[in-house]
Amino acid sequence: MKRHHLPASAETVRVGVIDRVFPAVLEVEDGDEVELETWGLWGNAVTPATRFEDIQVLRQAHAGRGPHSLTGPIAVRGATPAMLLRVDILELELGPYGFNLLSTGPNSRGLLAHEFAQGELRHYALDGKRLCTEFLPGFEVPLSPFLGIMGVAPRDEGPHPSPVPGDFGGNIDCPELVAGTTLFLPVWQDGALFYAGDAHAVQGCGEVDQTALETSMKRARLRLSLTDDRRLERPHALTREHLVTMGFHADLREAARQATSDLVRWLVLDYRLTREDAYVLCSLQADLMVTQAVNGNNGVHARMSRSLLAPLARRPGP
């Protein structure tokens, strides 16, 4: 196993677009670790001195693209379609500051955008050691860092705007994906072509005003490995406490259906339940969470306790 360092730079970062034709900026072996850096939104253009009016200029300059700065892609030797890319999230170290953008008007996907007449850009100093930030004088909010975007090259041709997640991952925005979690991504192209970005210091499920506490990642240490035991065709994860499946669709109910269907399948394959038993168990014990409702494709993730499942026989696998 080798450890690679991938800095964020003009040569290693693309802003706003995901495309399977982008060449790899790094090639690694199955099982290697990568320490990568990520930039903040719009190519790291937002600083503590940035004003709300400046954001409108940035949006116009990036019209037709998303705001996300993506480090990569990284090719994994031996990765082929029908495999899973396993991403072990080992360590995450935040940048020094972050922001939240409260957008208004018809161009905002925030759930209550119509209720707020004035937009706001709020800046926060991040305490990476204590993992907190001062939200208001005397009132701190705990931080829970994760990468909002982790994905592979899509199966479909053409450019994909970075805000919209899919079966390739991308802008998942799932706050479960903290250090200690393992994410599984279906591989659609040779080499997998993994990329990451959109660092969040913290985010609630839903991301209701359209942004989290947006930041950069000074260091994200990830292990990239392959498995040919491909259970599911969408991203899914193992946290310390839960099995997590994910659905993405413009229709929130369909996204929930995808996440539930994948969890049922996972329980059948790994824990030897019948489909009927698995479905009933999901109704009794699974939590459906609205991952985000602001990215074009809505996200829903389903969680099932791993300790609950411990008495059941689990077949070998990821």
Give the whole-angstrom CA distance, residue 12 versus residue 80. 23
Mean pLDDT (whole number) for 227-240: 95
What CATH number belongs to 3-227? Answer: 2.60.120.580
Which of 43-52, 105-114, 136-145, 147-156 shows the lowest per-residue confidence on average (mean pLDDT)? 105-114
Fold category of 236-309 in CATH: Endonuclease I-creI (3.10.28)
Q: How many angstroms separate the Cα of 47 from the Cα of each of 41, 51, 94, 184?
A: 10, 9, 15, 33
Q: Is 10 buried (19+), middle (13-18) or exposed (0-12) by CB count in 10 A?
A: exposed
Domain assignments of the chain as residue spans, ordered by start: 3-227, 236-309
Q: What is the pTM of this model?
A: 0.96
- Provide the mean pLDDT of the chain: 96
Residue 317 has pLDDT above 60, yes or no: no
Helices (H), the chain: 41-44, 52-61, 252-271, 275-285, 306-309
45: alpha, beta or left? (left if phi > 0; alpha if psi -120 to 50): alpha
User: What is the tens place of the pLDDT at every residue in 145-202?
Assistant: 999 999 999 999 999 999 999 999 999 999 999 999 999 999 999 999 999 999 999 9
What is the SS3 assignment for 273?
coil
